[in-house]
Amino acid sequence: MLRSRVRRHPLIWFAVLSIVLSWWAWPLYSLDLLPVPVASFGPFLAALIVLAVTEGRSGIVGLLRRMGRWRVGAVWYPVALALPLALSAAAVMINVALGAQVDLSMAAVGWVGILPAFAMALLIPGFGGAWEEPGWRGYAVPRLQSGRTALRAALILGLLIAGWHLPLIVVGQVSWTDILQIMGAVIVFNWLFNNAKGSVLIIMVSHAMNNTVWTTLTSKVVAQPDLAQQAVLQAVVWCATAMILVILTGPADFSRSHPKQEEPRSLRAGREKDVPVSASPDLGRRSHP
């Protein structure tokens, strides 16, 4: 039965559905009917479908709770907002040192529009990348981190997300170097996710800010001929930051004080027996042996 197959291999089905439910926009984009070739909320829909089949209502509620988990410690909100801005600024400064031309007058224009652009990216499904996160971080990461180190789980997820971005790369909306940046960003976001009590909300905030910084500030300030080099430098900066975080926090949990987010053992045991199980009310709670 299809349901049995989904229960036995939920991550594979999630990956396939994430692509199918996102890439349907590609043909419409080619006909100039949509502005982007992917529907960014596809991974979220994929997670809801797989959860409905494998865990039922309780699984869906668990994901929604992660999306609304805002009590994560006050420090993580400024970190989520400032980190994309700081990394982009660092890449710009390196670019300038290498001879890139910038128009600082455009920075003032960008700052005026950054708040509404951020709000749209965060709140409107499909407008920005933030609505990918209930799928990537809310569903996939706790399950990938079960029985794996946080680093190995991040590398697997990075490959999936890089492949998911293929239509954007093919049509030229993002650079091929974004594959490198994605790998670094997955580690950074997973580090933030594990330390912020498995909050999807905090990752949505950071993802929305990252997209907003590029569209309203970086791409406006850096001169057009130097934007390609800027993309490369941002990828390098994100990957360097990821390496530093792995060294400082360790590859096992990406944290010195918090266990990595994992799927509850009861769910794994139930899937191995191919019987429906009830989801834990807190998918972020680690299952100890």
Q: Is residue 284 in some structural domain?
A: no
Q: Is residue 288 in some structural domain?
A: no
Q: Is residue 169 in some structural domain?
A: yes
d(CA 106, CA 109): 5
Local confidence pLDDT in tens for the 289 residues of the chain: 788 889 999 999 999 999 999 999 999 999 999 999 999 999 999 999 999 999 999 999 999 999 999 999 999 999 999 999 999 999 999 999 999 999 888 887 788 889 999 999 999 988 888 999 999 999 999 999 999 999 999 999 999 999 999 999 999 998 899 999 999 999 999 999 999 999 999 999 999 999 999 999 999 999 989 999 999 999 999 999 999 999 999 999 999 999 999 987 656 655 556 544 444 434 333 333 3
Domain housing 208? 2-273
Q: Is residue 211 in some structural domain?
A: yes
d(CA 265, CA 196): 21
Q: Is residue 238 in some structural domain?
A: yes
CB atoms within 10 A of CB 259: 16
Q: Is residue 210 in some structural domain?
A: yes
Q: How many domains does the chain have?
A: 1
Q: Tell me, what DSSP letter sits at residue 130?
A: G
Rg (CA), the chain: 19
Cα–Cα–Cα angle for 265, 271, 276, rounded to 5 degrees:
105
What does pTM read for this prediction?
Answer: 0.90
d(CA 100, CA 164): 31
* Per-residue pLDDT, 89: 95
Are the beta carbons of 183 and 161 closer than 8 angstroms? no
* Per-residue pLDDT, 272: 56
Span between the terminal Cα atoms of the chain, in Å: 32
